[in-house]
Copies of this chain bind each other. A is one copy, B any other.
């Protein structure tokens, strides 16, 4: 396929252009290539090759007398080469050390998921200087294990939710004052016996269904109980973790305000980005989406590098970096991979 339409030297030229442009965002000319990436031929030759590459759609010219700039397709080729040659793992000496240290750091805070997730997102963005994003496990991925309902001061109830993955969530909610602690315990027992081992989302569905089906049969209390359960289980806060939106403004790619607004808008629309990234939770390893490959309008000028994190073999959520298409893919890929590995590892225990 694509790899075959180019001879070795063409590939080298393409990669040279991409690397140079990633390094600094100025159109790269033929003379510059020969100086910086000695391929043993003259500018004229490079020019010919570049013309070909342009014809294939890997490069383009901002205007007639400028150098070349990679197209999204050009980046794609570059990334595929990167991923194929496994050059990605070249930085493993650094990476190994990083994974070790960072895993230890996560160990220390893993009992508070929110803290752990924001730490991961932060690290990602700080080290890459792109925008770090993390999608927490979605309800449809979480297995229910045990629930406790504890009456608390008047009509408040503390819900403590324990899942198979060891995730503990807790929240306070309000119930009808008529519901006693005893009732709550009964409700909890009911939930625990009926639904243990099932997935949160399904449970919620089942509850709603039961509520409808047997509305007439069940007594008031039970009906109320179901309502409590449903509330208790709606933990989907539609929340995602984002970090680095500020530092990204220092990149020349975001020197014009329209770009920043695009990015902000895309991130602000949590639902869309959640849906988008969630699709990668089943993927194997690091995935890259480049510029116009992106289904979301506002992200057409950006690239996304994602990797799922897992609990054992089951995918839990997604970690991602969002940056300009002119992104340091090598770094981004290994960073996302490493952080995903750390988080997964922490989940395992």
Contacts and interface: CB of A to CB of B under 8 A. Distances in A.
A268 B249 contact: no
A257 interface: yes
A56 interface: no
Contact of A249 (B162, B174, B264): B264
Contacts of A173: 111-112
Contact of A255 (B148, B249, B257): B257
A160 B149 CA distance: 13
A347 to B, nearest CB: 15
A158 interface: yes
A111 B174 contact: yes
Contacts of A250: 261
Contact of A160 (B152, B162, B246): B152
Contacts of A12: none
A265 B246 CA distance: 7
Interface in A148-184: 148, 150, 152-153, 156, 158, 160, 162, 166, 168, 170-174
Interface string A114-154: 00000000000000000000000000000000101010110
Interface string A240-281: 000001100110001111001100110010000000000000
Interface residues of A, number: 31
Contacts of A156: 111, 168
A57 to B, nearest CB: 32
A112 B162 CA distance: 20
A256 B254 CA distance: 12
A268 B246 contact: yes
Given A153-B162, A172-B111, A173-B112, A249 B257 contact: yes
A171 B111 CA distance: 10
Contacts of A245: 264
A136 to B, nearest CB: 15
Contact of A168 (B112, B152, B162, B257): B152
A120 B257 CA distance: 28
B112 A172 contact: yes
A170 B168 contact: no
Nearest to A145: B153
A248 to B, nearest CB: 10
A131 to B, nearest CB: 13
14 contacts: A111-B172, A111-B173, A112-B171, A150-B150, A150-B160, A152-B168, A156-B168, A158-B158, A158-B168, A158-B170, A170-B172, A249-B260, A250-B261, A260-B260
User: Which 6 pairs between the two chains have the least Cβ-Cβ distance?
Assistant: A111-B174, A246-B264, A168-B172, A246-B268, A170-B170, A249-B261
